[in-house]
Each structure stands twice: as structure tokens, then as C-alpha cells.
Amino acid sequence: MWTVESEALSSQLFRVLSINRQDGLVAEISAVQHERGKYANVDYGTKIDTRPITVVPPSVQPAPAQVLLSSYSVLGQGIAQHNAVIEWTAAPSAVAYQVQWRRDNSDWIEGGRTGSARLELENIRAGTYLARVRAINAAGIPSLWATSMETQLSGNVVPPSALTHLTPTSLVFGIRLDWGFPVGPSIVERTELWYGQANDLQQAIKLGDFAYPQATHTLMGLAAGAQLFFWGRLVDKNGEIGPWYPISGGGAMGQASSDAGEILEYLQGQITETQLARALIEKIDSGGESAVVVEQLVNQLAAMYTIKTQITSGGRTYLAGIGVGVENNEGIIESQVLVAADRFAVIHPNGTTTTVPFVIQGGQVFMNQAFIADGTITNAKIGQVIQSDNYVAGVQGWRIDKAGGFEMNGLGSGYRVVIRNNGFYLYQTGSSTPIIELGELL
């Protein structure tokens, strides 16, 4: 037995039951239709797909022809939107088409799979576009790619609007920045942030680029009370740069927290979590009323040296100690010197008399004298007077005393002002007679 098949026709299968020879070359054949896998279907419930006997898709699928690129614009709510159109001539035997495109020599971008001979790309950017299409037949066999000519298409070229806000928030040793985007359709790609110590955009340096839609960033590792100025602007996918925000009035001023209570609470949590602090405040297991322990620890993660003294009285344990150490905490190397005591003091024993210039006791710090280059004070109480370091009564500098007097003197020729609880007095420099008196006359 034999059959004839063609590229466009596949024969149907039968299982021969019997063959009866007739006269000459004639034979009578008894057969039933045969489907491969029917026994598995009976035994295991396998689904049988009937073997096709109609036209078979070609083993080589022709490619589409005449792939063309074009664009058009639509106007919605006063905003122009540019769309690209990819079109091609249908290929024989194709049931679907796979489309890819790219702009300005970028990587190929999947445009999707479609059953028509047209695909649209919405809200495109201006640039040189290239598209390619391949046909897929019913057997899943793809054709070769058919490629368009490079085509310059118009797109969105209007610069993005300014940020709606840029808000710094104080943190302990840091500043958090939050910003907002303008409403409506946009092709924003990233946000540029710049900062500087001076309120001058010309001296600012770039903080970084932040991909849309990120709208917050935290700047850590600052000194307490550190003050910075910030500016921001948007950049779209065409490379168009928007205006600066703030536009006028200088940058957005941010300052790391200078709240001593907040900072001390933060540091307390940081210190007590360290291995050195735990070793320092851990009670000595002595079994007696007093003990002195010197400990040393050296390994790959820490090097520590502690001296502890302890006494137990009335069922209560009192401890004092000094710890010196360097620790590697998850990749962060930090060195510390910690003191555990109810009172910490610095004693100066080498003068004519022994003095104590510095004491910490009961959560308070006591200093005899201090020179501070740059200080940040939340609240200050002046016991006697506060004055400039160049103050000379009636000549230069300024002075405020707790009795309610305020004196301010200009340098060189000019005027000086004295304010007391009973009046306001303006003097010419070098004169003791006021030229303006408000209040009780002198």
C-alpha cells in the first residue's frame, strides 16, 4: 500500500484490518481510522488532537513587506500627544505578527504581538526610529525580520514643569528631602538635586539623579546642626531640562537636628547596642561585696579593653568602669571610649591648688571655662552678662546684662545705642550726651 502527499495536503491514517485479493490488481481492504495515542487516552485520559488532513502551513514563512513608520498628533485638554504608527503589508499564511522598535540606536523594544498589519506607539519622544516585523503562521513558525527605513519622528519636546515643592526635614545627623511632581501627562525621566553650604545656586554641587517616580531622599552622616541649601529640577526622556525649584528667594534651607535631647536619645541607643557598652555595664560575677576586673578581647570583629570596679551594698550593685574598643558592626568600623560612672570629672592637680574644671554628674555637664568655635544652643540661661569679645563700654561691641540693660556700639565714627528698663538712648560715638532720648530723661 502507498499514498501520495503534497506540500499542501497531508494524508489521513487508517489501521488495516484485512485485505482480500480480487481479480488482477484489485484488492478489497477493510480498515478503521487510526489516531495515535488513543490507547493512552483510554488508559490515562490523555486528550487526543486530531491529526490535520487539510492544508498544512508552510515550513518556510514569508516575511511581511513594506514596513513603514509615520506619526501623528492629537490634542487633549490642551496638551499635545505624539503617536507613532508602524504599518506593513500582510504576509501569506501569517496569523500573527511580532513587532519591535528602537529609537536613536537604543536596544530593541518589544512592541507586542498583533493580528493586524498596524501597531501604534503612544506618547513618543522625538528621535530617529527604526521598526522591524516578522510574520508567524499557524504552526508557530516565524519568518525573517522585515525592517523599515530609519525615520525621523516628531515627539514631545516641551521642557517639563518645575517641581511643586522641595521640603527638607531635620533628622538626627541628617536631612530628609521630599519633593512633588506637576500634575498631568508627562515623560519625566529623573529628578536632579543640587545642594550647597551657601545660599547660592552658582556654588552648588550635584547631589544626584533620582529616577521617576522617586520623591524622597535622605542625606545622612551630617554634623549636628549642619545647614544646607537645596535646589531641584526635572529632566524628561528627551533630555529636556525643566526650571529650577525654588525659582526665586534662594534654595530650600535644610538643617540637621540641633535638639540636644533628641541627639542624646539617639546616641544612647547607638552606644548601648555596642558590644563594648554591654561588656562595660555587665555586672561582675564575684560572689562577694566588691570586685575589680580587667578584661581584654581581640578577634576579627572587635578589639576591646575594659576596666571595671564593683561594690554591692544593701543588696544593690554599684559599678564604675572605662572601656576602650574598636568594633566592626556589619561593615561599619567605629572606635569608642566609654565611661560608666555616676560622676565623671577632670581634675587639674598641678597648679597652686587642685581644681576641677569639668564635671558630668546627674545628667548635667559643669565647666569652669569654655572656648567654642561654633555652638548651637537650644535654650540658654545667662547668669550675669553676655557680650561680644571686643566690648568696650561706650566705645565698641555690644553687651546684655540680666538687669535688663542692652548696649550696642558701632565701630569707628557713627552712633551707639543703649537700652535700659527705663528708656532708649542714642549717642553719637565719643559723646556722653544722648541725641535722642525715649523714656526717663537723663
The confidence score (pLDDT) of residue 203 equals: 93
Look at residue 180 and tell me if it is in a domain.
yes
Identify the domain containing residue 392 by its residue range: 385-439
Percent of the chain with pLDDT over 90: 27
Higher pLDDT, 59 or 387: 387
Local confidence band at 40 (pLDDT 50, 70, 90 cut-offs)? low
Residues 248 and 192 in one domain: yes
Look at residue 277 and tell me if it is in a domain.
no
CATH classification of the domain holding 137: 2.60.40.10
Residues 118 and 201 in one domain: no
The confidence score (pLDDT) of residue 185 equals: 65
Local confidence band at 70 (pLDDT 50, 70, 90 cut-offs)? very high
Number of domains in the chain: 5
pLDDT, tens digit, for every residue of 304-322? 888 888 888 877 888 888 9
Local confidence band at 45 (pLDDT 50, 70, 90 cut-offs)? low
Higher pLDDT, 279 or 72: 72
Look at residue 276 and tell me if it is in a domain.
no
Lowest mean pLDDT of 93-102, 193-202, 283-292, 312-321, name the range.
283-292
Look at residue 235 and tell me if it is in a domain.
yes
Look at residue 298 and tell me if it is in a domain.
no
Candidate ranges 171-185, 384-398, 419-433; pick with highest mean pLDDT: 171-185
Residues 130 and 86 in one domain: yes
Higher pLDDT, 283 or 246: 246
Residues 146 and 169 in one domain: no
Q: Is the pLDDT of residue 78 over 60?
A: no
Q: Is the pLDDT of residue 26 over 80?
A: yes
The confidence score (pLDDT) of residue 5 equals: 64
Q: Is the pLDDT of residue 107 over 90?
A: no
Domain C-terminal end among 153, 182, 216: 153
Residues 197 and 219 in one domain: yes
CA-nearest of 56, 50, 63 to 138 is 56
The confidence score (pLDDT) of residue 89 equals: 94
Look at residue 249 and tell me if it is in a domain.
yes
Domain C-terminal end among 261, 290, 311: 261
Q: Is the pLDDT of residue 49 over 70?
A: no
Residues 328 and 358 in one domain: yes
Name the one residue in this structure whose C-alpha cell is 537723663: 442
CA-nearest of 61, 57, 56, 58 to 143 is 61
Across residues 366-395, what is the average pLDDT? 82
Q: Is the pLDDT of residue 37 over 80?
A: no
Residues 126 and 174 in one domain: no
